[in-house]
A and B are shown apart, each in its own frame.
Chain A
Amino acid sequence: MTTLLPAAAAGRRPDEPRVRRERRSWTGWGFIGPFVLVFALVFLAPLAYSVHLSLFRTQLIGGTRFVGIENYQQALQDSRFWDGVARVGLFLAVQVPIMLGIALLVALALDSGRLYGKHFFRISIFLPYAVPAVVASLMWGFMYGTRFGLVGDINDAFGAGLPDPLSSDLVLASIGNIVTWEFVGYNMLIFYSALRVVPHSLYEAAEIDGAGQWRVISAIKLPAIRGALVIATIFSIIGSFQLFNEPAILQKLAPNAITTDYTPNLYTYSLSFSGQQHNYSATVAIVMGVITMVVAYVVQLRGMRKGA
């Protein structure tokens, strides 16, 4: 590509990038404008409306009235909400490291070039990502369940005493397994793509210096993909805090284990669509949004600072 450039005609300009960067113009808005416009309609407007809703309360007697921060005070003392937050907090503390760890190991294995059938591995492990969360939850729900379940089958066939994955003790781990199954391949792909653009000359230089595989991984590969690691972690944290589909589907199979306030998202949903408490639902969702953003921001700061 570089041979096509009119570098010779332009002459040597060592400070060229800086010169270009100073030239700001509105041209870029022509391209980002459509995105920003739709974004304002489906993100910013509802967000503003949400804040508006959270400041009001509708009562059977007296109609809708302005209540200021009353809804927020209620949310801060709402144990149904905080139990859900604690649950997704525990979920993300266990599930996210397991999922990202497996994804990273597979990505490094693929990148090492030491796997037989690498192409097959990459496609196959990614495939569950193409399965809708609804289908994945239905599938795993059936497999967990006593009706057509693999767990029951294995217990029958081998006389094993596997516990019920849908019992209230285990259902969170069972949900974690579904989410891990869905997203290991996706994260593996993100890491693998990031690894692919690391210049191979770096590995050769390291090899000349006598670095082993693990040293190459720890000193070159991991630092090179730190951006991807941080992004994947943040997206996983956000995903955990938003947990809805899997518990919502499994609820039909384990109604006693998965309550309507099992996760903050389920809680806001049931507040709004079963309880008609739109205002309080908006408040809970905003508090959860703030918690999510704070955690994501802290992770980003820490992730970017480490070793930088």
Chain B
Amino acid sequence: MTFTTDTNNTLEHHKFAGISLILKQVLKQDANSTNSVALESWLSDIQPAPVWIPLQIHDGITKIMPVLPDSGLYSQLTASICQYICGGNVSQCLNWNNKSYQFTGVEVDSDALHVILVSISANEPLPPTLGRAIHAQCFQWFATANPALSEHLHQQNILPFTVGIQYTSRQRIQLKITLLKPELLAPLLWGLSQNIGSEITLAGIPCRLGQWLNVVESSSFEKLMKLPTQNTIELQFVSPTSFKQHQNIQPFPLPELVFNSLLRRWNHFAPLDLHFPEVKWQGLVSAFDLKTHALKMEAGAEIGSVGWVKYRFLDPEQARIATILSRFAVFSGVGRKTTMGMGQVRIKN
């Protein structure tokens, strides 16, 4: 199968979220025998020139993302990569961080839903609540790529991203950012690339971002629709979760509160043909282990539940929708203040 010019047309109409180059490390003596070029000089004729972000190595595979500020530019980037390959430059060695690599292929990411992990460390103990500071930092990263996008996001009632903070020690956190729109990955990574491996200030404390990014999970609304139905769903609330019920705060994750919150978000972000009708939930809580947790925010404490709940659905259609929504919850979070670290969930079964 060789490259044909017809594929250029399909590239222009394709929606890209990101592109990764797949590289294989080569031995030093092999690298010396051929002409090698710096990875950064690759595709430098593209304007703006891509920034190169390494992803954490999984199963031995080295992936490096050429990142542009706007996902609309990726079709041009892919076409340039293909032209470069067809120009016979594939056998060249690429240098990256003083190591030699062989280019083996390209991975195209068209998914809408992403989970990104970034490690952050500080020289002094971090405050127990960083939600607000990281929320602001995320807007800053979006603004670096596109100030209008950041402003537009700021005005939204339902935001297409969430933030999760996991403390690995008093001075280290794992920042989890989830995205619900494919076009947000490029601007976020572009903004993040300015700070990778360097310092930022969070809540007045100088912090350092890790050298790697980790896109741990990606999926699409279409893929989630194909999940096999489960009658029992066990959700783990890893950060305090609460809901607004009749103008009050309800910390207990009742089935209708959890799944209505997810259904609203699903219908807001999913393509129109995948929307669900309104559901009168008849789910039951069959088991739980929860405790309340007070999260200190600037405006006061926010109470939420932490722990796990097992839900059971007797109606097969409700079970089907709940299965899809519970998987979606990993990306969208549940309940209130999901962009400040609340409502982060995992699926236990």
A joins B in a complex: no
Name A's B-contacting residues (CB within 8 A): none
